[in-house]
Amino acid sequence: MQDDIRRQDRLKLYRLVPVAAANDPNWDNADYQGEVVVCAFSPADARVVAAQAELDFTEIDAAPAEGNSTRDASAFRNERLYTVVEMLDQQGLAADGPRGVVDGVVSVGTIKPTQVS
**pLDDT tens, residue by residue, 85-96:** 999 876 666 667
Mean pLDDT calculated for residue range 21-36: 84
Q: Do the domain assignments include residue 108? A: no
Q: Do the domain assignments include residue 68? A: yes
Q: In Å, what is the CA distance from 83 to each residue of 37, 43, 88, 111?
A: 12, 9, 16, 22
Mean pLDDT calculated for residue range 12-18: 94
Q: Do the domain assignments include residue 10? A: yes
Per-residue model confidence (pLDDT) at position 37? 94
Q: Do the domain assignments include residue 116? A: no
Q: Do the domain assignments include residue 70? A: yes
Q: Do the domain assignments include residue 112? A: no
Task: Return the higher-pLDDT residue of 90 and 30.
Answer: 30
Domain count within the chain: 1
Q: Do the domain assignments include residue 29? A: yes
Host domain of residue 81: 2-103
